[in-house]
Amino acid sequence: MRQALVAITVAIAAVPMLLAVAGLPRPGDAQAPVHTHVAARYVAEGARETGAENLVTGVLLNYRALDTFGEVMIIFTALAAVMAVLSSAAPRRPEDDAPGIASAIPISPVVAFIIRLTAPFIAVFGAFVILKGHVSPGGGFQGGVILGALLMLLSLVLGRGLERPLLPVPLARWLQAAGPLAFAAVGMLGLALTGALLGYPAGPDQQLLRELMVIVLELGIGIGGAAIILGLFLEMRGD
């Protein structure tokens, strides 16, 4: 009975989806709506208009900056939600599951040595990905996650939990809000310069300003992302 219900549900969901996919234009079709609408303008003018040679970054932080503002707020809200839920949750009950995975196994010296050895390289790579995101693949989200993963590894190796975090708590709170703060600052600057929130000055001699605004956003997203990932990790480990 249950299996039949599952099969019917899957069929109801899958048949319209497959029909819709069958109606899509072929990949690479030059007449597809996605290529005839705004994409042509982005490809032709994007690098000049946005101050970002990487068109993905151009769309993300200039043409669709308001959407990205929303994304950054989502990540920030996720951390706030995790903190709120875990601070009100019941303390961990070890008898639920005898072989606990989080804390039972000490870090092996080999792993600790490798992490310490590669940490500076990972840090440089993360910073590079954040700062080069407007010219090459990468950007604040990717570089921020790389830095956040590094902070996670270092917390593990150095044995730093919530009671002795890598960053002092008040500083960490500000860094976790870096993404929304950077968007608010750049957005208000755009409002002052062009009259539109997150507007970018359009003059041909303001290329440098446009590029700087993109870099400030990337830095905010990257630093905020790294701090939020570390925060999530510490909160969820909870020891």
Partner 1 sequence: MSQAFDLVMLALLIAMALAVARSKDLVAAAIIFSGYSLIMCLLWQHRGAPDVAMTEAAIGAGVTTILVLLAIGRTRRREK
Query: Looking at beta carbons only, is 12 or 104 nearer to partner 1?
Result: 104
Q: Which of 35, 64, 160, 237 binds partner 1 (CB under 8 A)?
A: 237
Provide the minimum distance between the beta carbon of 8 and partner 1 in the complex, in angstroms, as a whole number: 18
Rg (alpha carbons) of the chain, rounded to whole number: 23
| DSSP per-residue string spanning 68-132 | HHHHHHHHHHHHHHHHHHHHHSPPP-GGG-SS-SSSSSPPPHHHHHHHHHHHHHHHHHHHHHHHT
The answer to whether residue 232 forms part of the interface with partner 1 (CB under 8 A) is yes
- Among residues 58, 148, 179, 187, the one that binds partner 1 under rule CB under 8 A: 148
138 is a site residue for partner 1 (CB under 8 A): yes
CB 166 → partner 1: shortest distance, Å? 16
Q: How far apart are CA 179 and CA 195, in angstroms?
A: 22
Residue 192 — φ and ψ, nearest 5°? Answer: -70, -40
Identify residues 23-82 at the interface with partner 1 (CB under 8 A).
54, 56-57
Does 151 engage in binding with partner 1 (CB under 8 A)?
no
CA distance 150 to 167: 14
**202: which DSSP letter?**
-
Q: In angstroms, what CA-CA distances link 17 with 14, 21, 25?
A: 5, 6, 15
From the list 137-145, 165-173, 176-184, 185-193, the region that binds partner 1 by CB under 8 A is 137-145
Count how many Cα atoms sit within 13 Å of the Cα of residue 33 in the half-sphere of its side chain: 2
Q: Print the binding letters for residues 79-118 with partner 1: x by CB under 8 A, - otherwise.
A: -------------x---xx-xxxxx---------------
Q: Tell me which of 32, 53, 142, 161 binds partner 1, using CB under 8 A.
A: 142
Listed ranges 131-139, 164-172, 177-185, 190-198: which one lies at the site for partner 1 (CB under 8 A)? 131-139
Do residues 86 and 232 make contact, with C-beta atoms less than 8 angstroms apart? no
Residues of this chain that interact with partner 1 (CB under 8 A) are 54, 56-57, 92, 96-97, 99-103, 129, 137-139, 141-142, 145-146, 148-149, 152, 229, 232-233, 236-238
